[in-house]
Structure 1
Amino acid sequence: MPIVILVAFFGLFLPKTAKAQQEEVMLTFSNPAVGSVYVGCLYDYKSNAVYLPVNELFSLLEINYLPDGKNFTVSGNFISPDNPYVINFLTMQVQLGKTTRQLKPDDFKIGETEYYLSPRIFEEVFGLKFSVNIDQLFLSLETTHRLPVQERKAREMARSRIEEFGIKPLDYPLGYSRKRSVVNGSMLDYSILGDYSKEDKSLSYTFTGGMELLGGDIQGTFNGYNSNNGIHTLNTSGLRWHYGFRDNKFISGITMGQTITTGLQPLSITGLSLTNDPIEPRQMFETYLIDGTTEPNSEVEIYVNDRLAGFKRADELGYYRFNIPITYGTTRTSLHIYTPSGQLIVTDRQLQVPFTFLPKGVVTYNVQAGKVEGFMADSIQEKWVAHANVAMGVTNWLTASAGTQFRDNPSLSNMKKIYYGSLSARIAKQYLLNVDAAPQNYYRLTGSVMYASNLSLNMIYTRFDGTSEFNFRGATDDINANVYIPFRLLGMETGIRFSGDHLILPNSSQTTILSDFSARLGKVNMRFNYRDNFETSQGTTTFGNALLTTALTYTIARTPGVPVYIRGMYLRAQNMYDIRHNQFQQSEMELSHSAFKTGRFNLILGYSHLTKKVNAQLGFTLDLNKVRSTTTLNSSEGGTWVRQSLNGSIGWDMLNNKTVFSNRQQVGRSAASVLLFVDNNNSGQYDEGDQLLPYQGVKLDRSSIMEVGRDSILRLSQLQSYYKYNLSVNRNAIPDPTLVPLKDKFSFIADPNQYKRIEIPFYRGGTIEGAVLIARNGTTTGQGGLRLNLKAVGKEFETVLRTMSDGGFYTMDLAPGKYTIDVDTVQLGFLNVKQVQKLSFEVKAKAEGDYLEGLNIILIPADSVITTGRRSFIESKPVEKNDAKNDGNLDVVKPTKQKEATEQTEEQNSNLKYRLRKRN
C-alpha cells in the first residue's frame, strides 16, 4: 500500500500544486532513421528537468515493448532477444538482463497516458544518450547501438532495390497500355567515320532508321563507303518489319524482311519468321517453393545471389511461403528471418539450372523461311532455306527440343535436310547434363557443376558423324574441359582457371591449353595468362608458341593529396613472352585520363620485339549528351593516319513536337515523355495553362536515362520496346511538398521507336480537421495528448497525428484517396476507453486542395456496450468546405482551427521560453 501511495504521489494523482509545476511540451526529435517528428515530453519548472516518454520513444525506435497499465510496468527485449528488460514503476526498479537498478522518485513520472523517464536513466541503463535543448525545444539521440528502426530502414532500402535484380515482385496497375498506330514515331541512328592518310582518304557512313508502321515496328540500315581511289558502295541490311504480341502464348512476333534463322547454323535470309518466345526474355525457368514456420509476425526475407528478391511477414501462426523465381545458371538463396524479439535466423541453399530449360509444360517454337542472301548464296549457289524448331519443358528437371532445316542446295546432299534434337537435364539440383544429336553431323554431350565454394567444372565431348559444314577438317572427336579452382591468397579471395581443347583427326591430333590467374595487391591488379598448343602426327609431336602474357593495371586515387592533373589516371603495362623460344614478342603501355568532365585522353605505346618497330596511338573521346566524337592518331614506321568518328541518334517526340538528340542508339528501343504538371482546372489531363514541373520526379524498376528538357518535360530513353515498366512518383524530387500526385504508382508498356506520352497530374494536398472526444455520463470532453494512426487505404502510407489540449487534431498535404484513423491502443488502455468505430474519410483531387472538417472520434469507457440499433453517441460526418477561388495562384488557405492551434502552440512555446529566461 505505501508503494501505491508513493506512485500516486509522483504520477497519476499529483496534487494541483505539483501539476502546476509540470507542463507537456512538444520537442522536435530529429534522427536519420526516424526522421523529424514531435515527441510529447514533460517539463518540470521547479527542477528544470525534462522527462521523456518511454512508450512513444520505444515505439519510434522500434524497440520491443509491452506496457501493462494495471501493474505499471513496461517490458520487452532490448535490441536482441537475449537482453530482456522490465521497467517497474511500482517497485521503482529497472532490470536489464541480469542487472537491476533502483529508481529514485525524481527519475520518473507517470502521466495520464504515458510513462516518463529522465534522460539520465535512458543513458545509464539503455545506452541511449538523449540530449534536450529546452530553449530550442529540440531532442537528439546518440548511441552506439544498432537500433531496430535502423535495421528496418536498411532492409526497406534493400527491398526498394529488388527491381534492380531483374525480377519484379509485383506489377503496378496498368496505366498506359500498348497503343498501336498506323504511322507514328521516328528515330535515326548515325555513324560517320573518316580516315585520312597520305595515301588514302575515305568516308564511310551508316544510317539506321526506325518508326512504327501498321501497328508494328519497322527499321533498316543503309551503309555507304567512298574513297579517293574510286570505290563507292551503298547497300542495305536489317530491313525488316516486326509485329509483336504481349501475353500471347501462341504467337509473340511476326517478322518480315531481312532476318536470321535460329538453327544449328544461323543463316541470313530475306523472308518470314514466326515465334512464340516471349517479348520480355524469361528471367526464370521455374518457381521454387520455400516455406516454413517461425515466430508469428516475423519479417522474412529471401535473397537470391546475395540480392534481396522478396519479403513477407509471417502470419499469426508463424507460417511463411515464397514462390521464388529461379534464374538460369547457378542460383544461391539465403533466407533471413527477423523475429519480433530481435533474433536473426539465416538458412542458405544453392540451386543449379540449365540455360536451355523451360518451365514445366511451356512449349516454344521458331519458324523461318526465305531466300539466302549475301556471300553465302553466291558461294554455294543456294536460294531458299526453311527452318523450324520446338522445345518443351517436360518436367521440373528435363527439357526436350527438336528441329529441322531444309536447304535448296543439291551440291550438299547430306546438308539438304538436317534433323536435330536435344535433352537438357538437372540432376541433384546442381549437376547439368545436356545431350545434342544431329545425325550425319555430330553428337554432343555436355556436363557442368558449380559448388558452393565456387569450384566449377565443365566438359564438352563431341563425336562427329562425317565431314560437314560443322566439321570441315574431317575430325572424329573433340574434347573440351574447363575448371576453376578458388583459393585465398594473402587474405584475399582469388582463383585460377585451367581450360583445354583436344581435337582428334584421322591421322593426327591438336591440343590447346590455357591457364589464367588474376590477383590484386594493394591498388595494383595483376593478371597472368599462359597459352600453349601442340600437334601430334604419326608419333611426332610439334609444339607451338608457349605465350605468357602478364598485365598490371593501376588507377591513381582521386584524393586531395594527389596533384589534380593525375587524379584518376589509369595505367596499364602488358608484356607477351614466348617461353619456348625464350624471347619477348610484344610490350605495351597504356595511359588514360579524363578531361573536361566529358572527355578522355588515351595514349598507347607499343613495341614489337620481333620487328623492332614502335607504334603509338593517341586518342581523344568527347562524350556529349547529344553526340559522341572520337579522334584517333596512329603512328608507326609505316606512316601516320588519322581517324575521326561521330556517333549519335535523333528522335522525334511527335506529340510534344520536339526533336531529341542523344549520344546513344535509339532505333529498336523505346522512350517516354513524362509530363509532371499542376492540374489547375481539375481536368485530369494536361491543358494550356497548367504548370509543368521540370523535375526528375519518377523512378523506374529497370534501367533508363532520365533528362529534363528545356520544355520542362522529363524524357526517359533507352527503354526496351514492348516491355512493361513499373513507374513510381518520387515526391522527394518535387521542391513543393504541398503537391501530391493523383497516382503515384502505375505501369506502362513501351511503344517501339517513339516517345510515349505519360501525364501525371499534381494537386495541392488535402487538409483534415477534427477532434477526439470521450463520452462519459452523457457528456463529451476533448482528450489531448493522444497519438492517432493515420493510414491510407490501398497505399503504403502511414503517419502519426497528435491531439491538442482540447482534443483537436489536423494535418495537411494528404494525397487524394481514402484514409482511416485509429487511436493508439496503448493510450486507450491507459485511459480505460475504447473507440466506437474506425474513422474513414476520402480526400478528393482538387487543384486548390480538399478540406474536410468535423472528423470527430468518439471514445467510450471500455466496459460500455456499443448498440447498433440506435446511436447513443454523437457522430459527426466529414464536411466539405468550398473555399473561395484564389484567382489561380493555388496558395493554400489555412483552416481556422489549424491557425488557432498553431497560434496556441506558438504562444505556449513563447510563454515557456519567457519563463525560462526570467528564471535564468
Structure 2
Amino acid sequence: MKTSCCILCNNYRCLWLYALFMVVTATHTRAQGNSFHEEVALFAAFDEVPVEIVVDGKWSFETNAIITDSNLLYINVSDFFKHLKIVCNESTVGNSLEGFIENETKTYTIDYNTKQIKVGSKIITSKNGLLEEMGVKYMEASVLSEVFGLTLTFNPRSLSAKLVSSFELPYVREMRIENSRNSISKLQGQEVVVDTIIPRDYNLFKFGMLDWAVNSNQTVNEATTNNVILGVGGELLFGEANISINYNDRYEFDNRQLQYSWRWIDNDKKIIKQAQVGKIYNQSIAFLDSPVIGATINNSPNTVRKATGTYAINEYTEPNWTVELYINDVLVDYTKADASGLYVFNVPIVYGYTTLRLKFYGPLGEERTEERVMNTPYTFIPAKTLEYSISGGFLQDENGSRYGKGDFNYGVNRFLTVGGGLEYLSSIPNRPFIPFAKVAFQPFSTMVVNLEYDHDVRMIGLLNYNFTKSAFLELDYTKYVKGQLATRFNAQEERKIRVSVPFKINQFSGFSKLNFSQFVYDSFNFNQLDFVYSAYYKQLSFNSSTLVNWVGTKSPYMTTNLSMSYRMLNGFVLRPSVAYDLNDNMLTRYRAEIEKRISKMYFSASYERNIASKNDAVFLNFRYDFPYARTGVSAFYSNNNFSFSENAQGSLAFGGDNNYVHAGNNSALGKGGILFYPFLDLNQNEILDKGEKMVLLTTVKVTAGKAVISKKDSIVRVSDLNAFVSYNVEFSNDDLESISWKFKHNTYQILVDPNQYKRVFVPILSLGEVNGTVYLNQKGATKGQGRVTVQIYDKQSKKVAETLSESDGYFSYLGLKPGNYTIRVDDQQLEKLNYQSFPKEHTIEIAVSEDGTIVDGLDFEIKTKVAAAEIEMEASEVNVQIKPKKISEDLAAKPIESITNTEEVFYSIQLGVYKDHTKPKALDNLDLVFYEDLADGNVQYYYGFFRTKEKANIAKNTLAFRGINGTSIVTYQFGKKIATRETSVVKEEEVKESFVPVEAKEQNNTKKNTAFGKISDEKGLFYSVQIGVFKNYVHSNWFLNYKPVFYEILSSDRIRYISGRYDSKKEAKAAQNRIIAKGIKKAYIVKYNDGKKVDTSNGEH
C-alpha cells in the first residue's frame, strides 16, 4: 500500500511538472506570437457579439464583447471607455492603454505584455483577465469592477449588461448636462437641431380656407332667430388675409359684423418683423369701447421666447369647459375648468411684446369665437435688445375716434427692462395725449416687480412672488389721478391681494385661493373678499366659493356656492350645485346635471330651481361630431316657455392636391397644412422627376400635428396647423419597405404658410451595399477573422465609411450612394499587427438602382509580412525571366511542390489567348501570372493557383471588378490541365466534390443543412422573414426558436435562411417583431411565389 502511495505521489509530481512545463511553453509562445487563440485556450469556445450596456437605467449603448462558453464577459476596453467618455489612449511605448478615470489625478495604465493594471499607486496583476485579438484589447468584467469600480451585471439571454459605477461617469454627467441645457433651450424658445429647414413660400394671391357656422333658435309664440357665420382666408401680397361675416337676421347689417385682417410675419427681418392691418388688438391705457380699425408694426418675433418665472391667471368660465392658452399664436398650455367654472394657468414670462389669448371649448363642442385678449402685466426684453411697437387707426364708434400708440422696451440686462412711450385717443376731451414709462424688475426667479406711470392717469405697482413651486402671492396697487377720463374708473385707489396655495395628500389634491379687493372712493370704501376651495379625489371634483361684500363699516353680504362633479364607472357624470345666502340662512338656488359622452356623441340633461324667483328650468342638449362638421341640438323649458336651438359648424381647406379638400370641424382661418411627397430620388437632385415613383409610408411624427397618409396617392397630409409657426417633423428609415432605402433627411423644421397647404418633397435614397470576408492566413491555413477594420473611399480618395468584420470574418456595409468606391483593409491596423492584405484593395461601382446595388465577394486575405515576403520572393523568383514561366514548369518545379503535394488538385483562372509572350498591361498588377504555349503558336495566360474551387471563384470575381472579364476556371494536377475523370483515384472523391456543375450545386453543397426545408419546394404566394445570409454551415440548433426554417442557395454560394410561412404581410410583420426581439435585429420581410423571391419594390405596401 505504501509503495502504491509513493508511485501515486510520483505520478502526481510528474503531472504537475508537465503542467508547469506546458504553462511556461505557452507563455513563451504567446510572448513571441501574441496569439489570441492561444490565450483563449483557457476556455473551450467563445463568441464575439455586440452587447447592450444600460447605464443608470436611462441611457444605453452597444459595444463589442467576447462571451466565453462559461458566460464570462470580456469587454472591448477602448470602445467601452469611448462610450463612457473616459480618456483612453494607445501608449506610444509598449503594448498598453493609458488615461485617467474619475479625475485627472487618478491615472491608469493597462499593460497587455506584463498583464498588469496600474491605477494611481495600486498595481493589479491579472493573467486571465486581459486578452487581445487583432490589436483589440479586452478586459474581463470582474477585473473591470475590481480595478475601476465599473460593475457589469451580464444577462446572456438578452445580450445586455447593467452598468453600475462607484462614481459619476463622464457619459452620465454629459447626458445630465445636455438634458438640462435642452430643457433651458425649450424654456427659452431656442430651436431644436434638425437635418433641414424649410422656410416660408410667398405668393401674391392664393385662396385656401373657408369657415362656416349656422345657428337657429326658436321660441314658442316668438319669432325665429337665425345666425350665419362665413369666413374665407388666403394669402394676399405675401401675408395672411382673412375676412368673415357674422350675420344675424334680427339686426340690421352694419360694418361691425365684418371681421377682416391682413397679417405679415418674418422673424428674419431686423427693422419690421410683424405687421397687421385691419381690426387690431392693443394693450391700451385708455378705455376703448369699440374695435380699432388700423395698422400695427413691431420688431418682436412671434416665437415664444420664455424667460424665467411665471405669473398666474385664474378666471371663470362655464363648468367643465376646456380652456387653451395661446402666446403669440402658439399653444403653450390648456386646462379644464372645475365644477364651478374656475380655471388656473401659470403663465410663463415671455420676452418681448406678446399677445395672450384664451380659447374656450364647451363639452357640447361650443367654441367661443370671441377670444379674450389679455394685457400681459410684464414685458421683459433680452439683454442689450431694443424692441418697439407702433399702432394707429380709428375706433368703430359714433365719432370715429382716432387712436395711436407708440412704445419701446430696452433690456438693460436679463433682470431689468425699462420702457416708455406715448398713447393718443381723440375722444378724451381734456388730455388726449398720455405719456408713460414703465420698469420691469426680476430680483430673483420667483419674484417679479412691475412699475408703470401713466401721466395724468394713474400709477401702478405690481408684485408677484412664488413662495413655492405652485403657490404665489400677488400684490396689486393702482392710484388714479382725480378727474381723469381715460379709464372711466372713478375710484381713487385700487388695492388687490391674491394668494393661491395648492395641496396634495396621496390621491387627494386641489388648491385654495383668497382674493381681496378694495376700491377707495371719496366718501366710502368698497371691499370684496372671495375665498375658493377646490379639491379632487379620483373621479370626484368639489368646489366651494364664498363671496363677501361690504361697504365701509356696514354689515357684509355673504353668499356661498357649492358644486360637485362625479364621474361614474359607466361614463355618466353627475354635477349637482347649490347657492346659499349666509345672511338669510337659506338656499337661493339648486341645480342638478347629468351628462354622458360616447365616442363622438355627447348628451346632457339638467334641472335648475331658483327659489327666490320661484322659477324652474330644464335643459336638454345633444351633440355629435362628424369628421367634417360639429352639430348639436338643444331644448330649454322655463316658466311654460319652450325654446329650441340647432347649430352646426365646420371648415374646408383647399389645395390638398389630387382634388383633395380637407373637411374639418374646427376653424381653419389663420391655419395651414403641409403636403409631404416621399419619393425615390434615383438621381439624387431632391426633385420628383418623371419616372421616379412615390413611396407609401405608414408613420410620420409631427410635433403638435396629426399626419394622414393616403394609400391612393402616397401623399402625407397634415392639417390644422398654426400659420407662421415652425413644426418639427420626423421620418424613420424603419418605415421604408426596402432595407436599402434611406431618407436623405430624417428630421425637418417647416414654417407653415398661412391659409394654404405647403408642399414639401421628401427624397428617399436607394443605397448600395458591399460585403465580403476577411481571411487570416496562418501557416497555410485560412479562416475568417473578426475585428478587422475595412474602409471605404470614394473616387476623391475621401473616406466615407468603415466597418468591422464579424467573428467569422464576414463584413458588410449598407449606405453607399451611386458612384465609384475603393474598399481596403485599414492600413494602420495592418501596420500595427505587422500584416499585409491581399489584394490591397477592391475597386467597385454602385450603380443606380431602385432596389439598391449589392456588390459581394470583396474578400481579403491577410497574413504576416514574413509570410507575405516569402510568397513575394517565390513569385519574384518565378518571374525572373523576361517572359512569364510556363504553368507546367511552375507546377512541376520545387516551389510549387513545397506548398502542395503532387497529388493535390489545383485551380487557376484562364485569362485569355495572346499572340506572344509579352505580358499584357491589363495583367501588370497581378502577382502570379503563368502562361502556356499553344499548338497554333499563340500563348494562353493564367492567374494564380488555388486549393479549392470556391477560392478560385472569389479570385475570378475579383478580376471581374478590376475589369478583366471573360475568364474561366480550369483544373490542374501534376502540372497538367485535367478533366474531372482524369484525377487520381486517391483524390477522386475530393475532386468530384470540387468539380460539381453549377446547376447541381444545390443538391451537393456541403454547407447547407438538410434539417431545414427548401424554399424551392414551397408552392404558392407567401410572406416570410429573412433571418440572414450565411457563408458557412449553420447547425439546426441555432434556429430552434425560429421554426419552421427554409433555405435557398444563392448565386454567391451563400445560403439564405427564412423563418415561417404567412398568408399576409401583417402576420409576417408580427413574426418579424418577435424575431427582432429575440436578437436578430436585421430580420426583414420577404415575399415568395412558387419558391422564387418576389421583388416588392413596386408591390403592395
TM-score normalised by the chain length of structure 1: 0.68
Deviations 1:82-117 (A, max 9, x none): xx9999999999999xxxx999x9x98956346586
SS in 1 for 2:745: coil
Aligned to 2:404: 386
Aligned to 2:554: 541
Following the alignment from structure 1 to structure 2, what is the Cα–Cα distance between the partners of residues 482 and 820? Answer: 74
> Residue 62 and residue 223 in structure 1: after superposition, are their counterparts in 2 closer, same or farther (change >3 A)?
same
- Kept in 2, the 8 Å contact 1:787–1:800? The answer is no
- Kept in 1, the 8 Å contact 2:740–2:852? The answer is no
- Kept in 2, the 8 Å contact 1:405–1:418? The answer is yes
> Residue 120 and residue 399 in structure 1: after superposition, are their counterparts in 2 closer, same or farther (change >3 A)?
closer
Q: Any unmatched runs of 5+ in structure 2?
A: 1-18, 310-347, 353-375, 795-799, 866-924, 927-957, 964-1006, 1009-1026, 1041-1101
Following the alignment from structure 1 to structure 2, what is the Cα–Cα distance between the partners of residues 328 and 276? Answer: 14
Alignment of 1:106-125 (within 5 A): 110=131, 112=133, 113=136, 115=138
- Kept in 2, the 8 Å contact 1:122–1:129? The answer is no
Matching residue within 247, 252, 255 for 1:224: 247
Alignment of 1:554 with 2:566, yes or no, is yes
Aligned to 2:983: none
Alignment of 1:369 with 2:398, yes or no, is no
Aligned to 1:747: 749
Aligned to 2:153: 128
Aligned to 1:674: 676
Deviations 1:535-557 (A, max 9, x none): 12xxx51422x122233333346
- Offset at residue 211 of structure 1 (A): 0.6
- Kept in 1, the 8 Å contact 2:300–2:388? The answer is no
> Residue 526 and residue 834 in structure 1: after superposition, are their counterparts in 2 closer, same or farther (change >3 A)?
farther
- Offset at residue 440 of structure 1 (A): 2.7
SS in 2 for 1:580: coil
Alignment of 1:658-807 (within 5 A): 658-680=660-682, 682-695=684-697, 697-700=699-702, 702-709=703-710, 710-734=712-736, 736-769=738-771, 784-786=785-787, 801-804=803-806, 807=809
Aligned to 2:198: 176
The 10-residue stretch of structure 1 (360-369 or 767-776) with the greater mean CA deviation from structure 2? 767-776
Matching residue within 593, 611, 633 for 1:590: 593
SS in 2 for 1:907: coil
Alignment of 1:354-365 (within 5 A): 355-365=378-388
Letter of the 1:196 counterpart: Q
Letter of the 1:399 counterpart: T
Following the alignment from structure 2 to structure 1, what is the Cα–Cα distance between the partners of residues 111 and 607? Answer: 78
Matching residue within 574, 578, 595 for 1:575: 578
Alignment of 1:253 with 2:278, yes or no, is no
> Residue 214 and residue 857 in structure 1: after superposition, are their counterparts in 2 closer, same or farther (change >3 A)?
farther
> Residue 682 and residue 62 in structure 1: after superposition, are their counterparts in 2 closer, same or farther (change >3 A)?
closer
- Offset at residue 802 of structure 1 (A): 3.7
Structure (1 or 2) with the larger CA radius of gyration: 2
Matching residue within 406, 410, 415 for 1:397: 415
Higher-helix-fraction structure: 2
SS in 2 for 1:194: strand
Following the alignment from structure 1 to structure 2, what is the Cα–Cα distance between the partners of residues 819 and 156? Answer: 37
Following the alignment from structure 1 to structure 2, what is the Cα–Cα distance between the partners of residues 747 and 780? Answer: 56
Following the alignment from structure 2 to structure 1, what is the Cα–Cα distance between the partners of residues 829 and 575? Answer: 67
- Offset at residue 648 of structure 1 (A): 1.5
- Kept in 2, the 8 Å contact 1:453–1:486? The answer is no
How many residues were matched structurally? 779
Aligned to 2:211: 189
Letter of the 2:579 counterpart: M
- Offset at residue 755 of structure 1 (A): 0.7
- Offset at residue 726 of structure 1 (A): 3.9
SS in 2 for 1:366: strand
> Residue 671 and residue 526 in structure 1: after superposition, are their counterparts in 2 closer, same or farther (change >3 A)?
same
Following the alignment from structure 2 to structure 1, what is the Cα–Cα distance between the partners of residues 843 and 296? Answer: 54
- Offset at residue 762 of structure 1 (A): 0.8
Matching residue within 630, 655, 669 for 1:628: 630
Deviations 1:147-193 (A, max 9, x none): 99999999999998888757234454664322221211321111111
> Residue 444 and residue 807 in structure 1: after superposition, are their counterparts in 2 closer, same or farther (change >3 A)?
same
- Kept in 2, the 8 Å contact 1:414–1:440? The answer is no
> Residue 224 and residue 910 in structure 1: after superposition, are their counterparts in 2 closer, same or farther (change >3 A)?
same
Aligned to 2:432: 416
Aligned to 2:1062: none
Aligned to 1:304: none
- Offset at residue 467 of structure 1 (A): 3.4
- Kept in 2, the 8 Å contact 1:851–1:881? The answer is no
Aligned to 2:516: 500
> Residue 582 and residue 386 in structure 1: after superposition, are their counterparts in 2 closer, same or farther (change >3 A)?
same
Letter of the 2:755 counterpart: N
> Residue 474 and residue 809 in structure 1: after superposition, are their counterparts in 2 closer, same or farther (change >3 A)?
same
> Residue 388 and residue 841 in structure 1: after superposition, are their counterparts in 2 closer, same or farther (change >3 A)?
farther
- Offset at residue 534 of structure 1 (A): 0.7
Following the alignment from structure 2 to structure 1, what is the Cα–Cα distance between the partners of residues 841 and 962? Answer: 26
Following the alignment from structure 2 to structure 1, what is the Cα–Cα distance between the partners of residues 962 and 206? Answer: 44
> Residue 696 and residue 372 in structure 1: after superposition, are their counterparts in 2 closer, same or farther (change >3 A)?
farther
Following the alignment from structure 1 to structure 2, what is the Cα–Cα distance between the partners of residues 609 and 427? Answer: 53
- Offset at residue 692 of structure 1 (A): 2.8
> Residue 849 and residue 204 in structure 1: after superposition, are their counterparts in 2 closer, same or farther (change >3 A)?
same
Following the alignment from structure 1 to structure 2, what is the Cα–Cα distance between the partners of residues 617 and 825? Answer: 85
SS in 2 for 1:248: coil
SS in 2 for 1:667: coil
Aligned to 1:439: 455
Matching residue within 306, 311, 323 for 1:284: 306
Following the alignment from structure 1 to structure 2, what is the Cα–Cα distance between the partners of residues 160 and 403? Answer: 37
How many percent of aligned residue pairs carry the same amino acid?
Answer: 17
Letter of the 1:168 counterpart: Q
- Offset at residue 592 of structure 1 (A): 3.2
Aligned to 1:198: 220
Following the alignment from structure 2 to structure 1, what is the Cα–Cα distance between the partners of residues 636 and 681? Answer: 58
- Offset at residue 457 of structure 1 (A): 2.0
- Kept in 1, the 8 Å contact 2:740–2:851? The answer is no
Asked which structure has the greater RCO (Cα within 8 Å, sep 6+), the reply is: 1
SS in 1 for 2:201: coil
- Kept in 2, the 8 Å contact 1:223–1:236? The answer is yes
RMSD: 5.9
Letter of the 1:220 counterpart: I
Following the alignment from structure 1 to structure 2, what is the Cα–Cα distance between the partners of residues 725 and 276? Answer: 24
Aligned to 1:599: 601
- Kept in 1, the 8 Å contact 2:39–2:131? The answer is no
Higher-strand-fraction structure: 1
Following the alignment from structure 1 to structure 2, what is the Cα–Cα distance between the partners of residues 66 and 838? Answer: 33
- Kept in 2, the 8 Å contact 1:367–1:387? The answer is yes
SS in 1 for 2:583: coil
Aligned to 1:239: 260
TM-score normalised by the chain length of structure 2: 0.58
SS in 1 for 2:430: helix
- Kept in 2, the 8 Å contact 1:682–1:845? The answer is no
- Kept in 2, the 8 Å contact 1:237–1:258? The answer is no
- Offset at residue 810 of structure 1 (A): 0.9
The 10-residue stretch of structure 1 (650-659 or 144-153) with the greater mean CA deviation from structure 2? 144-153
- Offset at residue 516 of structure 1 (A): 2.0
Deviations 1:581-600 (A, max 9, x none): 212223333333321x2223
